Structure 1
């Protein structure tokens, strides 16, 4: 019996060592990128006959509501739980970078999110009555934002693709099938016009009002609301898909895809970096452009506080893989997204290779129409020639001036005048 007990102890020790070795070699999360939509907001405008104008909203149009603040605080808490053991328990400025569009609701959403992600503890508590600490959120002016505010304009090629989309069979048929419905919307709302591209605003206004218990007009029946939602979802597909989706991606969502890939690649190659997470606080159009470029769009507008997640893992072999998730329901865990052409856990090199098709090498050049490229080259050539001609004229004038201003040498000076005087 004693011998058997000793053998059992040895076996348990060996098993423990093997398990410890397995744990030490387990795959490791190395880097995370988040792209999330702002939380619940007031409508961005009202329609002419709307009984609820801007005064009905405490902070006016397009502003984050207290519901939206809570949504992002809860998302921050969920991210804290998901990345427990990966992120530091307390805020460390070296491990996280947050960027937002320069819009009140996205800036405030990022701040609410960070309040849930990094509640202050210990020496980070600067006031015992405030369970919050300031954490920087970076931004650039809207006019300069070429990363997170979509559509990115000016881009003539993209506008041409939009015009092509308007002539596509799907767009033409959708317009024909909803022409009477949109005329009804115009009559009931007091709008001067309504198209597949603008009808989303009516859907948005009514959605915001219903969520905040404001009365809806009699014409806004459940059937009408459902049809407006369908048209709203179509308008998002119009922006980034239907016709020339890959070309649109190169000019729109591919810009963000390229930056995310760059960040992920740098994280894989720089093991000594302290940066663990980059978060982008954005809009539904940002998520739509991103997911269309990735070809994982589900055809529906991204809900408030939804979050697209990229996770970089280092496998036991030392190789890197990328996994994507989408959190669009706070009652369940984020569901996995799979890049077409790869497994859910996609090798980094293959992930990069599959996405090269939507990343423009020279965005500004690709945005130009063919004729514009030639015109630009002619203009540049004329400017260069003009500059050269100007320099030659300046050089010639300089030479002539110097020749006139130089002494002419020894000359006999007549004293005739002095004698005469």
Structure 2
């Protein structure tokens, strides 16, 4: 059985991932969908009210190196922070108290990679990637559309991260790029304890998710096709079978090396596409069978939170009515099930610094609410929505099979029986 805290909780970013060609991304093509949507629903008819960005951390050191092969040297100089990413920030719990303990981060720091760095650490390259994501958001929400103030204020911006150094630092770098290091307030990056984390599929805190997925994890590398390909690549790499290496681990190490210009075993040059495809295949098959229930338990609470933020903004009744931007710093294993729930997963592993952005708009004449979703800066036509500007009720309906309010989530997680109606 895998270590679910480090593998299933976050393998590849604490990363696990997700299945089958059923889910195809329906991007709005510039010469078809988006032009039609723009003609039917010009942006001038809508007023932007709220933006929520769920993003993957930047490039990092691998979680584990491939054994028995040419090792890369992960020198600590690869982790130096560029001066333009510095901001004044603090890390707290969700109520503003001391930062909780971080068992996942502690587990990384019990090991050392060749060269001296710890596994899973944000690198200079990753910091720059998040800075550039912040610059893209600045261009969209400050320069093109004067939605946000050009200087960070805590009244406008909420920042939450998983309690892991690479995601915390990624959030910091994004803020630096978004506001060009200009801030009126100290940036508070909120975190929570591992047991109650909802920003990734929590196999440690949700017993039922572990029960449903544990046997599946154990058999993934034995499935037809995957097993034969794995045996071939392990033989080519000279990795012994007892090392328990799978395609996700190979991909993780391979992509980390490629991103930082570090040497890759030559045999991987001919295997690269197969490694990518099989890693994605494993992630997708993890959610079969019982896909709906596993997606619920993986990201249902997070999806509920995103919708709740929208409802509160529309009611304008909370003490935080001025809040315009919610930032959630997370992992590839967060994005994949969210993309699946939205039915826009493109069967590709989310790259470093990938983002899913939800915009809330109100029609200027009718006052009706609409949601617009983008993935890595590309507007999406969500299946079940009548347009890129998706009526809120349609959007809520298509997510209703997956969202779980906190109370139901806890109840379901603590059960080991069959599914119940939320």
User: 1:246, 1:69 → 2: CA distance?
Assistant: 35
What displacement does 1:118 show? 1.1
1:153 to 195, 204, 210: 204
1:12-411 equivalences under 5 Å are: 26-52=45-71, 56-58=75-77, 59=79, 60=117, 61-84=119-142, 85-120=146-181, 134-141=186-193, 143-162=194-213, 165=216, 172-181=223-232, 183-184=234-235, 188-190=238-240, 192-194=242-244, 198-220=246-268, 222-239=269-286, 241-270=287-316, 273-315=321-363, 316-327=365-376, 334-343=377-386, 344-360=388-404, 362-367=408-413, 368-370=415-417
What displacement does 1:290 show? 1.5
Per-residue CA shift, 1:214-237, capped at 9, x if unaligned?
2222332x2212211111112221
* Structure 1 unaligned spans of 5+: 1-22, 126-132, 328-333, 374-421
Secondary structure of residue in 2 paired with 1:230: helix
What displacement does 1:36 show? 0.5
User: 1:170, 1:62 → 2: CA distance?
Assistant: 23
Report the structure number with the largest CA radius of gyration. Answer: 1
What displacement does 1:276 show? 0.4
**Larger relative contact order (CA 8 Å, sep ≥ 6):** 2
User: 1:234, 1:307 → 2: CA distance?
Assistant: 21
Q: Which residue of 1 aligns with 2:22?
A: none
**Residues 1:299 and 1:371: Cα distance change in structure 2 (over 3 Å):** closer
**Residues 1:192 and 1:250: Cα distance change in structure 2 (over 3 Å):** same
Q: Tell whether the 8 Å contact from 1:73 to 1:117 is kept in structure 2 after alignment.
A: yes
User: 2:355, 2:234 → 1: CA distance?
Assistant: 36
* Structure 2 unaligned spans of 5+: 1-41, 80-116
What displacement does 1:371 show? 8.5
Scaled by the length of structure 2, what TM-score is found? 0.71
Per-residue CA shift, 1:3-47, capped at 9, x if unaligned?
xxxxxxxxxxxxxxxxxxxx9x84210001000001111111213
Number of matched pairs = 330
Q: Which residue of 1 aligns with 2:20?
A: none
Per-residue CA shift, 1:253-290, capped at 9, x if unaligned?
22211110111111111178100010001110011121
**Residues 1:284 and 1:371: Cα distance change in structure 2 (over 3 Å):** closer
User: 2:265, 2:138 → 1: CA distance?
Assistant: 42
Choose between structure 1 and 2: higher helix proportion. 1
**Residues 1:276 and 1:190: Cα distance change in structure 2 (over 3 Å):** same
